[in-house]
Amino acid sequence: MRSNRQFYIDGSWVQPSSHAVIDVINPADESVAGQVALGDANDVDKAVAAARKAFETFSQTSVEERLALLDRIIAAYQRRIGDLALAVSEEMGAPLWLAEQLQAPVGLVHFQIARAALANYSFEQGIGTTEVVREPIGVCALITPWNWPVNQVTCKVAAALATGCTMVLKPSEVSPFSATILTEILQDAQVPAGVFNLVHGDGQGVGNALTSHPDVDLVSFTGSTPAGIQVARNAALTVKRVHQELGGKSPNILLPSAELASAVKAGVAQVMLNSGQSCNAPSRMLVPAKRMAEVAQLARAAAEEWVVGHPASNAKMGPVASEAQWNKIQRLIKAGIDEGATLVTGGLGRPEGLDTGFYVRPTVFADVTNDMTIAREEIFGPVLSIIGYADEADAVAIANDTVFGLAAYVQGEHSAAEAVARKLRAGQVTLNYADMDFAAPFGGYKQSGNGREWGEVAFGEFLETKAIVGSRKAA
């Protein structure tokens, strides 16, 4: 049993204002894995006050001081990476192989990339007689989800620290264990008191208090689009900056020039990874309509390779993170069946032999039309929708016919794929399953959010621009 019943405020572990706690459920077997304290507005006030005080000095630190801090964090992180992997597997059900190879290491990558970007970042620029200065924005509220818990926390924390901001983190109450370990890492790395603060809790008790707090200068939120709308409403009362990474319904266009067998298999794998719980998952596969039957059979074979089982086993896929998520996925699978999509494999209920735990059958639908519920709503589970298109223009139109615009994928001859990519309304387009580039900006168009995370581009989200007019001599 893990216990996350203290908060980290002003450089110390402290008792919450109240005694409220909730159980953290292990999604693999539905047992209670531990407890987390539920903070309230009083805890938020204390954490924000600590961050506000620390900003006075941390905002004035030199690049060299912050580089040294990031070096210490990287070293401390490397010592605890195994602990992070175990925590992620337990709290949200990631198979151990995934937690060890991706979920935990990606946080280290974000700190390393931020460190490299900071070493070469220019905070000042001369324009005419004016010196344009980029300065840290202030106190940042960081609110993160449960699906890639370490990734979502570290990409925000790394950018905030690199730019000289202070912060209060509210991680998901579904996956709090890894955030507590990360806090221990930051403490071990001697992050100055008040620069980083942790308050556990839910959206109602902590999230609302943070996003509406008058002494918070920026909210960086990752989560669902409906929750993001509420965050923006709260923040609007004090006209604070809001940066959001929200939902997605990413298209994956297989052009006629794509090698079909490998393109389908890789596309299925990217949907099934992390039990489908990735906002950028290519959950709509767009294929030439005349090849629908062939694609369906290839997708069936690929999906059935994704053996589902306990995270500690050799299974490729674990459970989804919660009962609420399992119920949502079941509802949407039923909608696909009811609306006439062809169920190729998977479907309702748990996989055979898995009667306890929030396990979902890897599911593929063919003959999907873009007006069906499974093509419109973010399922956030291991469910692929295959949609036929008539020609390239039709494929682009279908791909863009969504309220989302986080990511997109194109497979085929390189120049043709890049030409299609330039027509897609999405914040990140991946060609031919290129490896993830964590130095590239990540974020979306439309209802997938605003602003960008990852790498050097993310720094701009945490900086204000000041023009010092007359500081330079006229040419």
Q: 108 near 77, Cβ under 8 Å?
A: yes
Residues of the chain with pLDDT > 90, as a percent, come to 99
Which helix H or strand E contains 439, and what residues bound it?
A: none
Confidence of residue 214 (pLDDT cuts 50, 70, 90): very high
pLDDT for residue 190 is more than 80: yes
User: Which residues face 36 on adjacent strands?
Assistant: 4, 22
pLDDT for residue 475 is more than 80: no
Q: Which of 90, 91, 173, 245 is catalytic?
A: 245
Confidence of residue 473 (pLDDT cuts 50, 70, 90): confident
User: Which residues face 242 on adjacent strands?
Assistant: 219
- What DSSP line would sit under 313-336, residue for residue? TT-SB---S-HHHHHHHHHHHHHH
- pLDDT score for 474: 77
Query: What's the mean pLDDT in 125-154?
Result: 97
- pLDDT score for 235: 97
140 a catalytic residue: no
pLDDT for residue 351 is more than 80: yes
Confidence of residue 1 (pLDDT cuts 50, 70, 90): confident
- pLDDT score for 69: 98
Phi, psi of 175 (to 5 degrees): -130, 65
Q: Letter for the amino acid at 413?
A: E
Q: Give me 74's structure tokens.
A: 């990287």
Rounded to whole angstroms, what are the CA distances from 75 to 101, 112, 176? Answer: 18, 10, 22
- pLDDT score for 419: 98
pLDDT for residue 97 is more than 90: yes
Mean confidence (pLDDT) of the chain: 97
Cα gap 466→456, rounded to integer Å: 19
Q: Please list, in sequence order, all residues whose beta carbon lies within 8 angstroms of the beta carbon of residue 332, skipping any fewer than 6 positions away.
A: 373, 374, 377, 379, 381, 383
Phi, psi of 466 (to 5 degrees): -120, 130
Query: What's the mean pLDDT in 68-89?
Result: 98
pLDDT for residue 467 is more than 90: yes
- pLDDT score for 392: 98
Q: 283 near 293, Cβ under 8 Å?
A: no
Q: Which of 140, 155, 165, 279 is catalytic?
A: 279
Cα gap 70→51, rounded to integer Å: 18
155 a catalytic residue: no
Query: What's the mean pLDDT in 113-124?
Result: 98
Q: What is the pTM of this model?
A: 0.96
Buried b (16+ CB within 10 A) or exposed e, 169-181: bbbbbbbbbbbbb
